[in-house]
Structure 1
């Protein structure tokens, strides 16, 4: 079962003792910080014990078209790496 944004905002507001409007503003700001971090400046966002998010470099490589079997060159690029923290891992056991 997935938690929707509205459910997450309601849970944040309840836990923090704030309004849903304030919780939504905090969630929006957090989302913007993550996007800015991976969009170019290369910052790593880390919440110790929970998760870390960072931009990573991907080297150029040779791939294969699954339909035709033809080899293709895949240019270098960027990706996003999410690492799960110890508290979150322990909660999933």
Structure 2
């Protein structure tokens, strides 16, 4: 599912399940804001926890020596900070419950 499909699904779900008509522009603005806030929190070393969904955090990948696959020549790979997502127990349980499979 890409961003435009997600916006469409969320807009329809809000109408049907929550009896709230929201525009696609509002849903897109919310997703953009969520992305921006999450990015800024991770940059400052904070975690973002969404109950029922999961936790966004950062990890560290150490510098290492790699190899060029075409030539086999060694090359330096710089250290990097990475984004991590850890799913919540509720999400894992929902995905592994055979009676709640999406159709």
User: Is TM more than 0.5 here?
Assistant: yes
TM class, shorter-chain normalised? Answer: 0.7 to 0.9
Runs of 4+ in 1 over 4 A off after TM superposition: none
What TM-score comes out, normalization by structure 1 length? 0.78
Task: Count how many residue pairs are aligned between Structure 1 and Structure 2.
Answer: 90
Q: Structure 1: which 5+ runs fail to align?
A: none
Alpha-carbon RMSD across the aligned residues, in angstroms, is: 1.8
- From the CA coordinates, give the structure whose radius of gyration is larger: 2
Q: In the alignment, what sits opposite 1:63?
A: 66
Q: Structure 2: which 5+ runs fail to align?
A: 15-19, 97-103
Q: Distance in 2 between matches of 1:84 and 1:25?
A: 24
Match of 1:34 among 30, 38, 42: 38
Q: What CA deviation, in whole Å up to 9, does each residue of 1:28-63 have, x standing for no partner?
A: 11111122223x211111112312111222211121
What TM-score comes out, normalization by structure 2 length? 0.71
